C-alpha cells in the first residue's frame, strides 16, 4: 500500500510539472528557462520530471532520514531516463506526435517515480549505490548547461513543427 504522503507528493509534483511547462511561455527569461522547457524537444521535457520531482522529494527527504536523498536521487535519475527513452522511441523512432502521449508519459513517469521511491524505502535491506545519485546530480547540471548550449542532436531538436522528424538530420 502506498502511503498517503506519497500520493499527495505525486499529485503536487505532477501539478508543479504542468505549471513548469508553461512558465517560460508566460515569463520568458534566462531564469525561467532553467526550469521550464524552452523548446518542444525530448530533452527539454526532462525538466518537467526532474525539477518537480526534486522539489517535492526535498520535502519528503527532510522527514524520512539521511538515506532518503540517495533513494530519491536514484529514483529521479531512473524516471528521467524512462521519460527520455520512451519519448525518443515514440517521437524519433516511430515518428509519432500526440499531445495525449506526452501528457500520459509525464503522468506515468511521475507515478512510477513515487511508487519506486516508496518501494525502495520499504526495502531496508536494499543497498543503494553511491554512483546513481551522483549521476542524478550530473543530469541536473547537464539540464542547466544544455538549456543554453544544446548539442545538434535529435534528442535536443525542437519537435513543435509539423513533421519535424522528417527534417532532423540523421
Q: What cell was used for 146?
A: 544544455
143 within domain boundaries: yes
* Domain containing residue 125: 40-148
54 within domain boundaries: yes
116 within domain boundaries: yes
162 within domain boundaries: no
113 within domain boundaries: yes
Q: What percent of the chain has pLDDT over 70?
A: 89
Q: What is the pLDDT of residues 61-82, one digit of tens each?
A: 888 876 788 889 989 999 999 9
Whole-angstrom CA distances from 38 to 45, 62, 122 are 9, 31, 37
6 within domain boundaries: no
Distance between CA 115 and CA 101 in Å, rounded? 20
Q: What is the pLDDT of residues 5-31, one digit of tens each?
A: 899 999 999 999 999 999 999 999 999
Q: What cell was used for 6?
A: 506519497
28 within domain boundaries: no
**Three-state SS string across 72-104, please?**
HHHHHHHHHHHHHHHHHHHHHHCCCCCHHHHHH
pLDDT of residue 170 exceeding 60, the answer is: no
5 within domain boundaries: no
In which residue are the cell numbers 546530480 written? Answer: 137
Domain count, the chain: 1
Amino acid at each position: 500500500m502506498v502511503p498517503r504522503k506519497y500520493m499527495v507528493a505525486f499529485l503536487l509534483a505532477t501539478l508543479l510539472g504542468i505549471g513548469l511547462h508553461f512558465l517560460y511561455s508566460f515569463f520568458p527569461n534566462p531564469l525561467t528557462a532553467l526550469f521550464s522547457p524552452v523548446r518542444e524537444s525530448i530533452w527539454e521535457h526532462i525538466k518537467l520530471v526532474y525539477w518537480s520531482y526534486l522539489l517535492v522529494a526535498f520535502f519528503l527527504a527532510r522527514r524520512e532520514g539521511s538515506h532518503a536523498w540517495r533513494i530519491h536521487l536514484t529514483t529521479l535519475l531512473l524516471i528521467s531516463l524512462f521519460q527520455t527513452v520512451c519519448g525518443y522511441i515514440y517521437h524519433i523512432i516511430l515518428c509519432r506526435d500526440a499531445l495525449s502521449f506526452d501528457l500520459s508519459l509525464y503522468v506515468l513517469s511521475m507515478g512510477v517515480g513515487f511508487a519506486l521511491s516508496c518501494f525502495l524505502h520499504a526495502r531496508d535491506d536494499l543497498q543503494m549505490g553511491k554512483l546513481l545519485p551522483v549521476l542524478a546530480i550530473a543530469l541536473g547540471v547537464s539540464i542547466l548547461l544544455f538549456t543554453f548550449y544544446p548539442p545538434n542532436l535529435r534528442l535536443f531538436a525542437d519537435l513543435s513543427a509539423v513533421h519535424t522528424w522528417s527534417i532532423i538530420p540523421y
